[in-house]
Amino acid sequence: MTDSRATFDAAFGADLHVELRGSGLRSGLMDALREAVRTGRLVPGTRLPSSRSLAADLGIARNTVADAYAELVAEGWLTAQQGAGTRVARRAAPRKPAAGVARARPTRGGPAYSLLAGSPDLASFPRAEWLKAARRALTAAPHEAFGYGDPRGRVELRTALADYLARARGVYADPERIVICSGFVHGLMLMGKVLRGRRVREVAVESYGLDVHWNLLTEAGLRIPPLPFDELGSRTGELGSLRGVGAVLMTPAHQFPMGVPLHPDRRAAAVDWARGSGGLILEDDYDGEFRYDRQPVGALQGLDPERVVYLGTASKSLAPGLRLGWMVLPADLVRAVLEAKGPVDWVSSALDQLTLAEFITSGAYDRHVRGMRLRYRRRRDQLVAALAERAPDIRVSGIAAGLHAVLELPPGTEHSVIQAAAWQGLALEGASRFRHKDAVAGRDAVVVGYATPPDSGWAGALDALCRSLCGADKVSPSGD
């Protein structure tokens, strides 16, 4: 007979596309099912449709399907039990790779420990409280929440964020000027489009930062000259001398990765430049909730909400996997950002937004941040104490806030420390990794993300770090 194709959708089975080939219906069906199991399209334990349902979907006699099932059970491909239906047998049938696809080669294991900056302790995500908030949010969700959604994001979350950011970060945040995005990178992508639309050609950046952010700007067609940097932060007084710059990207509360807050005079200078030139400040407030030995440094946005684009996320306070961020925009930018984003909210789950709104308004977010602040402070104190005992010549800076510290090293030793860490099974990055290619070379240092390891790995990571600092001089230039 000629080939026939069918897709079956039964109440008691799985959707499956099958091809019946050959001269006989029964043998064609058996071959198709064997092939589906052999290639892994039907995994062990999958319940198949009843013989009546499959026969109706394929347009063949029920007895034909029943006979095919019975023979495949006898061969061991399927199992059949009263009340449990017909299922794919739990057998060790190997899956054959598709033609032309090479098998993956086994890879060497990664580092045993990680002190890379930029991640919170993922093991501390508040699962139970988040689940409670999700249940309450789902119960109360209006029917329209399951539609495509407002491109600004759910009004419940924008309202909760407006209250929280004003209270905790000193941000002037009207819900109508907040746009929800999937994280800082998404927000920066949107701003890249908007800036190009405003005929901006250059965005100044800090001498130290993340190349992934710089690359997004250059991919948008923007040049990224670096601002000089010293112990007081970026030298914003020099913005005026950078002709053609229409915006500046900054981390003023806690410079990433060098860890210093922007000096008050330089905060004022940045705002003065923006007012006088018509430029914009893109403020990355990536870890503003976490401070330890100083008064909170409020968001720069509070000094001039019409000249600062405030970008925040739940990535450090909760987890980056939530993919939830927010932009607080000057009034004249809201329309342009929404046009860049598109007509519907296609990037952030409405239910996740509603859950975060409930998490904030219920007080669970504040409780979680306070608890994590204590946890990370203990980590920081343990890091400082271990270094004082085992590597007393190492100067530690950038520790009054945030989730990472900067360890200053003797000149010319940064590379050897990174090599020594690799031999200790420790993932670690040097400050030079974050330096702009056009920036003046700075001091040798490593950036230690002390929030990253789970509790079970913290002691081992700290020990590996200290051994790396003490054993760097034993690593040869060749790494042998």
- Tens digit of each residue's pLDDT (9 = 90 or more) over 416-444: 999 999 999 999 999 999 999 999 988 99
367-474 is classed in which CATH architecture?
Alpha-Beta Complex (3.90)
Contact residues for 265 (Cβ-Cβ < 8 A; gap 6+): none
Select the more confidently predicted residue: 85 or 204: 204
The CATH number that domain 124-362 falls under is 3.40.640.10
| 117 pLDDT above the threshold of 90 | yes
Q: What is the pLDDT of residue 237?
A: 96
CA distance linking residue 451 with residue 316, whole number of Å:
9
CA distance linking residue 336 with residue 338, whole number of Å:
5
Q: How far is CA 177 from CA 165, 180, 277, in A?
A: 13, 10, 23
CA distance linking residue 209 with residue 86, whole number of Å:
58
pTM of the model: 0.81
Q: What is the pLDDT of residue 5?
A: 40
CA distance linking residue 291 with residue 297, whole number of Å:
9
Confidence of residue 449 (pLDDT cuts 50, 70, 90): very high
The CATH number that domain 4-88 falls under is 1.10.10.10
Q: What is the pLDDT of residues 145-198, one digit of tens each?
A: 999 889 999 999 999 999 999 999 999 999 999 999 999 999 999 999 999 999
Domain residue limits, the chain: 4-88, 124-362, 367-474
Q: What is the pLDDT of residues 55-106, one digit of tens each?
A: 887 888 889 888 988 888 888 889 988 777 888 888 644 444 444 433 333 3
Confidence of residue 23 (pLDDT cuts 50, 70, 90): low
CB atoms within 10 A of CB 436: 18
**Closest C-alpha to 402, from 466, 461, 468, 452:** 452
Q: What is the pLDDT of residues 256-288, one digit of tens each?
A: 999 999 999 999 999 999 999 999 999 999 998
